[in-house]
Amino acid sequence: MKNTFRKNAHLAGSKLWQLGLVCALLLMMTGCGKDSDDGDLRNTVELPVDTALNLYCVDVGIFDETCILDDPENPYALSPIVTEDEELIFEILDPAAPGPKAKFYLWGTAQATSPRGLYQWFTAVNLHALFSVSGSELIREQAKRAYRSLFDNYFGSVWFLKVVTPGGEILFPVNLTDNTGLLLVEPLDPGILGPAQGLAPLYASDILARQDLGEWGYNYDIDNNTVKKNDE
């Protein structure tokens, strides 16, 4: 299954309506009205900045599991974060999330609402980022499971990165499966996608990473930087 992130053309009215939804969400997240010190209730949903994560269910953030939408700690659970235009998530919501825990809830909610390879990858990356700052073994294992879900459910998924060149903007395809294999086996390689650069290795060695990949049914071709299924 190919999953793509690309700029789509929309009617102006539709675009403004979607932007209004996102702006309403941001207002809800940042609060509105006066503080309770002034005698008025403040309607806010605080975005988490800590690094402790309570997994609401075993498969939270994995494939089509929707339990994250019932998690009382998820600030995005009741928010209209998935619109027809994915760029709104990238340009407005993701930068507004203060850290990997909030970003995990953001992308995990997107994945639960509209499962696709791109959302699964960002969910896994932010679990990985949360492990990098927390050192939690529970989060490490969940990050591995989220990456495996990308292999099992979205093998060959592609993210079309927008690259600015002297001749204009072009869409550059990046295979998320291959990039994840590179991230797991050779975590210090500079070719890893920006959002996943600088993360702590999930494995103590490339041998252990390859062992897990083999048990999952895949192998990483170091010469060509590609992931293949064992039966290929």
| 5 part of a folded domain | no
DSSP 2: -
**Do 117 and 139 contact (CB within 8 A), yes or no?**
no
Weakest-pLDDT range from 16-20, 84-88, 98-102, 139-143: 16-20
| 168 part of a folded domain | yes
Place of tokens 């083999």: 214
| 150 part of a folded domain | yes
| 44 part of a folded domain | no
Tell me the pLDDT of the chain averaged across its residues.
Answer: 84
Q: Coil, strand, or helix at residue 187? A: coil
For residues 13-21, average pLDDT: 43
Q: Is the pLDDT of residue 165 over 60?
A: yes
For 228, counting Cβ atoms within 10 Å of its Cβ (0-12 exposed, 13-18 middle, 19+ buried), the class is: middle
| 41 part of a folded domain | no
Looking at the structure of the chain, the number of domains it has is: 1
Q: Which domain holds residue 18?
A: 12-33+49-229
Tens-place pLDDT, residues 168-209: 889 989 999 999 999 999 999 999 999 999 999 999 999 999
Tens-place pLDDT, residues 53-98: 999 999 999 999 999 999 999 999 887 665 556 777 888 899 999 9
| 220 part of a folded domain | yes
Q: Which residues pair with 162 in a beta bridge?
A: 171
| 162 part of a folded domain | yes
For residues 97-121, average pLDDT: 95
pTM listed for this prediction: 0.83
Q: Is the pLDDT of residue 10 over 70?
A: no
Percentage of residues in the chain having pLDDT higher than 90 = 65
